[in-house]
Amino acid sequence: MAKTAVVILNYNGKGYLEKFLPSVINHSAAAEIIIADNASTDDSLSFLSTQYPDIRQIVLKKNLGYAGGYNEALKQIDSDFFVLLNSDVEVTSGWLDPMESFLNANSSYAACQPKIKDFTHQSLFEYAGACGGYIDSLGYPFCRGRIFDELEIDSGQYNNPEDIFWASGACLMIRKTAFEKVGGFDADFFAHMEEIDLCWRLHSIDLKVKSIPSSVVYHVGGGTLDKSSTFKTYLNFRNGLFLLIKNLPLGKLIYKLPIRVALDWVAVLKFILEGKVKHGLAVLKAHLSAFLRMPRMYGKRRKLYNPPDSRSIILSFFLRNKRKFSDL
């Protein structure tokens, strides 16, 4: 049994497997590579069986999303470390060693991520994780190297390993024991921000998360859900509220949730003014879903971790013109 399993969750991603699986095979010799298929309807599985017959496949009966798909797949894997890797990621030589070495030497850390750069514009950090994730006082996620849609050029400014609040699901290494201890992903998230919820729960049991920039990967982004998708808008806004309802201490939830909802309505207005009415409606649908499920999500609250109150990213970005993480 390999100490590390690299698990790629695939959904209709034959093109990405053709393009990026060779880099994973070439640069992950010490790990077991596993493809977990989320009920794809393309010919991903026949391609894998023909071209890569030695790679283990875990075939799920229906599309359970990122969260549910990984939950089901990882139950069937018995390695010490899981690396959850998007199918649209190109890895580089030696990418696994720094992360595995760090977790081996630091038992108080449950998870870590590499530096994630943009595959298309390789001088830039990539949106989904950049050089490690944080969360602001109202639950808005941001990264070393990315605030909202503003991507920084990587000039080595974040090459030091740092404690982070969340590690990106695009490339996340986590201890099997820690993943199981907090109950895995919350399948109600389906996709988007489930890794932030997971990391929030890791912090609640006094485990930490690290950014390891000496490991580098390149991410295309939007491989399963394109940025233009209204379903992606729906998930982002709904799951942003889920995060707060599940994890924020009650004293803060009471006043921060209404502020967050009001700011979401500003986003609705912005979508409408930009002619993206369907995206505005997706936000309203997300709110309805979040509030209908509020009793369910609130019922999942356990021991809570109160993150340090950082400055509002909304104020810093839009009013103070802070466009870089280093300016915060």
Q: What is the pLDDT of residue 309?
A: 66
The mean of the pLDDT values for the chain is 95
Cα–Cα distance for residue pair 202/206, rounded to 1 Å: 7
If pLDDT is split at 50, 70 and 90, which confidence band does 227 have? confident
For 255-299, how does the pLDDT look when each residue is reduced to its tens digit (9 = 90+)?
Answer: 999 999 999 999 999 999 999 999 999 999 999 999 999 999 999
Q: Are 276 and 232 in contact (CB under 8 A)?
A: no
Least trusted range by pLDDT, from 89-103, 152-166, 214-228: 214-228
Instruction: Residue 25: count other Cβ atoms within 10 Å of its Cβ.
Output: 16
Least trusted range by pLDDT, from 63-72, 90-99, 224-233: 224-233
pLDDT over 80 at 183, yes or no: yes
Percent of residues, the chain, with pLDDT higher than 90:
91
Cα–Cα distance for residue pair 89/122, rounded to 1 Å: 12
The torsion angles phi and psi of 279, rounded to 5 degrees, stand at -70, -40
In order of start, what are the domains of the chain with their CATH numbers?
4-219 (3.90.550.10), 230-321 (no CATH)
Q: What is the pLDDT of residue 290?
A: 98
Least trusted range by pLDDT, from 125-139, 156-170, 300-314: 300-314
If pLDDT is split at 50, 70 and 90, which confidence band does 224 have? low
If pLDDT is split at 50, 70 and 90, which confidence band does 223 have? low
Q: What is the pLDDT of residue 32?
A: 98
If pLDDT is split at 50, 70 and 90, which confidence band does 319 have? confident
pLDDT over 90 at 222, yes or no: no
Strand partners, 249: none
Segment 225-239 mean pLDDT: 90
Q: What is the pLDDT of residue 303?
A: 82
Cα–Cα distance for residue pair 57/76, rounded to 1 Å: 11
* Tokens at 301, concatenated: 């609250």
Segment 106-130 mean pLDDT: 97
Q: Where are the alpha helices (DSSP H) in 14-135?
A: 14-26, 44-51, 65-74, 96-105
